[in-house]
């Protein structure tokens, strides 16, 4: 199977007249792949940062509520 992949790849490259054309085509595909990967990782990082902020805000709100509730619980528990 590995050899089939290599042969199909080489046959695809042989469609071009010169090695330079094949190199340019490979470089174009490689550049597109890198742009797609970088875009994907940037979007992923932005989503992670956004989620971290949302989690921090919600945890801060819950901490504030627990701090407000704690004295009331202490009053109820202590006779």
| One-letter-per-residue 3-state SS of 20-40 | HHHHHHHHHHHHHHHHHHHHH
The ranges assigned to domains in the chain are 23-77
Is the pLDDT higher at 78 or at 48? 48
pTM of the model: 0.45
End-to-end CA distance of the chain: 79
Per-residue pLDDT reduced to its tens digit, 35-63? 888 999 999 999 988 888 877 766 666 55
pLDDT 10s digits, 9-27: 556 655 556 667 777 777 7
Averaged pLDDT, 50-78: 66
Nearest 5°: CA angle at 34, between 28 and 39? 130
């Amino acid at each position: 199977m590995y050899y089939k992949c290599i042969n199909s790849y080489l046959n695809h490259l042989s469609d071009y007249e010169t090695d330079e054309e094949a190199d340019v085509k490979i470089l174009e595909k490689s550049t597109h792949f890198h742009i797609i990967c970088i875009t994907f990782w940037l979007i992923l990082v932005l989503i992670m940062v956004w989620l971290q902020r949302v989690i921090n805000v919600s945890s801060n709100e819950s901490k504030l509520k627990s701090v407000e509730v704690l004295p009331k619980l202490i009053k109820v528990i202590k006779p």
